[in-house]
Protein backbone atom coordinates (compact mmCIF):
# COMPACT_ATOMS: atom_id res chain seq x y z
CA UNK A 1 0.00 0.00 0.00
CA UNK A 2 1.45 3.36 -0.97
CA UNK A 3 1.92 6.25 1.43
CA UNK A 4 -0.88 8.21 -0.23
CA UNK A 5 -3.30 5.27 0.09
CA UNK A 6 -2.48 4.98 3.82
CA UNK A 7 -3.28 8.66 4.36
CA UNK A 8 -6.61 8.28 2.52
CA UNK A 9 -7.40 5.13 4.61
CA UNK A 10 -6.70 7.00 7.87
CA UNK A 11 -8.81 9.98 6.83
CA UNK A 12 -11.65 7.66 5.76
CA UNK A 13 -11.68 5.86 9.16
CA UNK A 14 -12.45 8.89 11.29
CA UNK A 15 -15.72 7.66 12.80
CA UNK A 16 -16.94 4.33 14.17
CA UNK A 17 -19.19 3.62 11.19
CA UNK A 18 -16.25 3.86 8.74
CA UNK A 19 -14.01 1.76 10.97
CA UNK A 20 -16.61 -1.03 11.18
CA UNK A 21 -17.16 -0.89 7.39
CA UNK A 22 -13.44 -1.24 6.68
CA UNK A 23 -13.05 -4.20 9.07
CA UNK A 24 -16.15 -6.05 10.37
CA UNK A 25 -13.99 -7.63 13.08
CA UNK A 26 -13.88 -4.17 14.68
CA UNK A 27 -17.62 -4.47 15.37
CA UNK A 28 -16.95 -7.49 17.58
CA UNK A 29 -14.30 -5.49 19.40
CA UNK A 30 -16.67 -2.55 19.99
CA UNK A 31 -19.40 -4.88 21.29
CA UNK A 32 -16.95 -6.65 23.65
CA UNK A 33 -15.58 -3.30 24.86
CA UNK A 34 -19.09 -1.97 25.50
CA UNK A 35 -20.05 -5.16 27.33
CA UNK A 36 -16.93 -4.92 29.51
CA UNK A 37 -17.60 -1.29 30.37
CA UNK A 38 -21.28 -2.03 31.11
CA UNK A 39 -20.29 -4.80 33.56
CA UNK A 40 -18.32 -2.29 35.61
CA UNK A 41 -21.53 -0.71 36.94
CA UNK A 42 -22.97 -3.74 38.80
CA UNK A 43 -19.47 -4.89 39.82
CA UNK A 44 -18.67 -1.45 41.25
CA UNK A 45 -21.98 -1.39 43.14
CA UNK A 46 -21.37 -4.87 44.60
CA UNK A 47 -17.85 -3.86 45.71
CA UNK A 48 -19.16 -0.68 47.32
CA UNK A 49 -21.89 -2.61 49.17
CA UNK A 50 -19.33 -5.16 50.38
CA UNK A 51 -16.98 -2.48 51.70
CA UNK A 52 -19.81 -0.66 53.51
CA UNK A 53 -20.97 -3.90 55.14
CA UNK A 54 -17.42 -5.03 56.02
CA UNK A 55 -16.52 -1.66 57.54
CA UNK A 56 -19.67 -1.70 59.68
CA UNK A 57 -18.80 -5.16 61.07
CA UNK A 58 -15.03 -4.74 61.47
CA UNK A 59 -13.25 -5.61 64.71
CA UNK A 60 -12.27 -2.66 66.92
CA UNK A 61 -8.51 -3.10 66.41
CA UNK A 62 -8.69 -3.54 62.61
CA UNK A 63 -7.68 -0.56 60.48
CA UNK A 64 -9.19 -0.53 57.00
CA UNK A 65 -6.96 0.57 54.13
CA UNK A 66 -7.49 4.21 53.18
CA UNK A 67 -7.00 6.16 49.97
CA UNK A 68 -4.05 7.93 51.64
CA UNK A 69 -2.23 4.57 51.69
CA UNK A 70 -1.62 5.14 47.98
CA UNK A 71 0.68 8.10 48.71
CA UNK A 72 3.64 5.77 49.25
CA UNK A 73 2.87 4.11 45.91
CA UNK A 74 2.83 7.46 44.11
CA UNK A 75 6.14 8.50 45.65
CA UNK A 76 7.84 5.20 44.78
CA UNK A 77 6.44 5.39 41.24
CA UNK A 78 8.18 8.72 40.71
CA UNK A 79 11.39 7.48 42.37
CA UNK A 80 11.54 4.27 40.30
CA UNK A 81 10.75 6.16 37.09
CA UNK A 82 13.68 8.53 37.72
CA UNK A 83 15.94 5.58 38.61
CA UNK A 84 14.85 3.83 35.41
CA UNK A 85 15.78 6.76 33.17
CA UNK A 86 19.10 7.32 34.96
CA UNK A 87 20.01 3.62 34.69
CA UNK A 88 18.97 3.46 31.04
CA UNK A 89 21.15 6.48 30.28
CA UNK A 90 24.11 4.97 32.18
CA UNK A 91 23.68 1.44 30.82
CA UNK A 92 23.32 2.73 27.25
CA UNK A 93 26.92 3.92 27.21
CA UNK A 94 28.22 0.74 28.85
CA UNK A 95 26.35 -1.60 26.48
CA UNK A 96 27.18 0.25 23.23
CA UNK A 97 30.64 -1.36 22.67
CA UNK A 98 29.16 -4.87 22.95
CA UNK A 99 26.47 -4.44 20.28
CA UNK A 100 27.18 -5.98 16.87
CA UNK A 101 27.99 -3.66 13.97
CA UNK A 102 24.96 -1.87 12.60
CA UNK A 103 24.17 -0.27 9.26
CA UNK A 104 23.72 3.19 10.78
CA UNK A 105 24.40 5.15 13.94
CA UNK A 106 20.65 5.50 14.45
CA UNK A 107 20.20 1.71 14.49
CA UNK A 108 23.11 1.32 16.92
CA UNK A 109 21.57 3.92 19.21
CA UNK A 110 18.18 2.20 19.02
CA UNK A 111 19.70 -1.18 19.91
CA UNK A 112 21.70 0.31 22.79
CA UNK A 113 18.59 2.02 24.17
CA UNK A 114 16.56 -1.18 23.90
CA UNK A 115 19.31 -3.26 25.54
CA UNK A 116 19.69 -0.74 28.37
CA UNK A 117 15.94 -0.87 28.96
CA UNK A 118 15.98 -4.67 29.26
CA UNK A 119 19.10 -4.57 31.42
CA UNK A 120 17.30 -2.26 33.87
CA UNK A 121 14.17 -4.46 33.79
CA UNK A 122 16.23 -7.53 34.65
CA UNK A 123 17.62 -5.89 37.79
CA UNK A 124 14.30 -4.30 38.77
CA UNK A 125 12.30 -7.53 38.53
CA UNK A 126 15.06 -9.59 40.15
CA UNK A 127 15.10 -7.33 43.21
CA UNK A 128 11.30 -6.89 43.29
CA UNK A 129 10.72 -10.66 43.27
CA UNK A 130 13.49 -11.22 45.85
CA UNK A 131 12.06 -8.55 48.17
CA UNK A 132 8.49 -9.88 47.80
CA UNK A 133 9.66 -13.43 48.48
CA UNK A 134 11.57 -12.32 51.61
CA UNK A 135 8.38 -10.68 52.93
CA UNK A 136 6.08 -13.61 52.16
CA UNK A 137 8.41 -16.47 53.15
CA UNK A 138 7.25 -16.38 56.78
CA UNK A 139 3.65 -15.45 56.03
CA UNK A 140 1.10 -18.12 57.05
CA UNK A 141 -0.37 -18.44 53.55
CA UNK A 142 2.95 -19.13 51.77
CA UNK A 143 2.70 -22.84 50.88
CA UNK A 144 5.49 -25.35 51.41
CA UNK A 145 5.82 -25.97 47.67
CA UNK A 146 6.96 -22.34 47.31
CA UNK A 147 9.40 -22.46 50.23
CA UNK A 148 7.08 -21.25 52.99
CA UNK A 149 5.87 -22.84 56.17
CA UNK A 150 2.16 -22.19 55.74
CA UNK A 151 -0.77 -23.41 53.67
CA UNK A 152 -3.17 -21.90 51.16
CA UNK A 153 -5.99 -23.25 53.33
CA UNK A 154 -5.26 -20.36 55.72
CA UNK A 155 -5.90 -17.78 53.00
CA UNK A 156 -9.56 -17.20 53.92
CA UNK A 157 -9.16 -17.29 57.71
CA UNK A 158 -10.46 -14.00 59.18
CA UNK A 159 -11.58 -12.77 55.74
CA UNK A 160 -12.05 -9.80 55.09
CA UNK A 161 -10.12 -8.67 58.20
CA UNK A 162 -6.91 -10.59 57.59
CA UNK A 163 -3.61 -9.42 59.04
CA UNK A 164 -1.46 -7.93 56.31
CA UNK A 165 2.23 -8.65 55.71
CA UNK A 166 4.49 -5.86 57.02
- My answer on whether 33 and 77 are in the same domain is no
Does residue 92 share a domain with residue 28? Answer: no
What does the pLDDT look like over 96-152, one tens digit per residue?
888 888 888 888 888 999 999 999 999 999 999 999 898 888 888 888 888 888 887
- Together in a domain, 89 and 44: no
Looking at the structure, tell me whether residues 73 and 42 fall in a common domain: no
Domain that holds residue 14: 3-56
Q: Do 151 and 126 share a domain, yes or no?
A: yes
Pair 81, 117 in one domain: yes
Considering the chain, what is the average pLDDT of its residues?
Answer: 84
Instruction: Report the pLDDT value the prediction gives residue 137, as an integer from 0 to 100.
Output: 86
Flag whether 38 is in a domain.
Answer: yes
- Interhelix angle for 105-136 vs 70-95, to 10°? 140
Can you give the pLDDT at residue 12? 58
Given a cut of 60, whether residue 9 has pLDDT beyond it is no
Q: Contact 102/111 with Cβ under 8 angstroms?
A: yes
Please indicate, yes or no, whether residues 51 and 75 belong to a single structural domain of this protein: no
Number of domain units in the chain: 2
Q: Is the pLDDT of residue 14 over 70?
A: no
- Exposed, middle or buried by CB within 10 Å (0-12, 13-18, 19+), for 148? middle
- Clarify whether residues 49 and 82 are in a common domain: no
Q: Which residues pair with 143 in a beta bridge?
A: 150
Is residue 104 located within the same domain as residue 71? Answer: yes
Report the distance separating Cα 54 and Cα 159, nearest Å: 10
Amino acid sequence: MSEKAKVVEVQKNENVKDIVKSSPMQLIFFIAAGFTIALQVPFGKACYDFIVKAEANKPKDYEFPKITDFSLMLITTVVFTVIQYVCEYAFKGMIRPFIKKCASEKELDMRATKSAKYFYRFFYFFFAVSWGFSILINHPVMPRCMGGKGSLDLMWVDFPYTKHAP
